[in-house]
Amino acid sequence: MNKLEYSPLVRRKLVSLRKWLTEHFDEKTAQDVLGGILLDADILAEYEKSGTSIAEMYNIGTDYWYIFTHQHYLVYRFTPGKVTIIQMFHEREDFMMKLFGVSGRTMESIEYWGE
């Protein structure tokens, strides 16, 4: 089994998400959402290839992978014995643009969300 690590940035985003969910909903909702995200991330410790390879999906030279959980993308990479979650994005963020400067959004998505 691999060691699972969260970057400092992802840790801060998780704390901010918990605070936001607690303020806008309640503590139980915050616990449920964060608990679900962390449980899904835990799967990567044993099955690091259970996510989607960004290189294969978007034909970009990178060793980054992602999983989608509870309206968030967790972007990670793995090396022998370790999985590091390096970034977290909400589903409405274009994480491909932020990470690589290329849009991962389809015209259908843009029209649907009106952006």
* pLDDT tens for each residue of 76-115: 999 999 999 999 999 999 899 899 988 776 667 667 777 6
| Model confidence, pTM | 0.89
- Which structural domain, as residue segments, surrounds residue 47? 3-113
Per-residue model confidence (pLDDT) at position 112:
77
Asked if residue 36 has pLDDT above 70, the reply is yes
What 8-state DSSP symbol labels residue 48? Answer: G
Handedness of CA 106, 111, 114, 115 (dihedral sign): positive
Return the C-alpha torsion angle 20, 25, 30, 33, nearest 10.
-100
Q: How many domains does the chain have?
A: 1
- 37: exposed, middle or buried (Cβ count in 10 Å: 0-12, 13-18, 19+): buried
CATH number for the domain spanning 65: value is 3.30.2310.20
